[in-house]
Copies of this chain bind each other. A is one copy, B any other.
């Protein structure tokens, strides 16, 4: 890999990590450049759109890495209901290990900036559509009709995203674990 590409990659990874923990407004470009060991001039060289473009790239990378992690859990689980429980447990463990800093890598930026920034709105919306697609596909694989699977996938994603918010607020993974128990119990009648 060329040196410039390595710098670009480090900037994206660093931005992804900082955005997840601090959000968009709380993450300064100086901090990203310093932690990525990137020279000052490199931001606009690699990202002509500046902070917005770098953040959108970082969100796309985070979305892809979460999609892979969730897919691995979903494929390993014997049923979609076990998969929901396992994903909640994965997120709970991750949140606890980071002392409640690392929740959803998309949500904070979505709440802060999606209404006002077109590139960030697009990156956030795309991330959620992708994750919802993973859930929807697994539900359809169990024979759920397409229209219902699409609506239930939104509900499942919303409940998990909301549980991440409640868990971060409370500094306790209990909301995530409650949703991981109660949501599959409710869905049992459908799957």
Chain B residues with CB under 8 Å of A161's CB are 158, 161-162, 165-166
**With A22-B25, A108-B111 given, is the CB distance from A158 to B175 under 8 Å?**
yes
A125 within 8 A of B: yes
Contact among B154, B157, B169, B175 with A121 in the assembled complex (CB-CB below 8 Å): B169
A38 within 8 A of B: no
Chain copies in the assembly?
Answer: 2
One of A9-17, A65-73, A138-146, A177-185 contacting the partner: A177-185
Main SS at interface, chain A = helix
Are the C-beta atoms of B175 and A154 separated by less than 8 Å? yes
One of A40-48, A50-58, A99-107 contacting the partner: A99-107
8 Å CB contacts to B: which residues of A84-134? 99-101, 103-104, 106-108, 110-112, 114-116, 121, 124-125, 127-128
- Name A's B-contacting residues (CB within 8 A): 21-26, 99-101, 103-104, 106-108, 110-112, 114-116, 121, 124-125, 127-128, 151-152, 154-155, 157-166, 168-171, 175, 178-179, 181-183, 186-187, 189-190
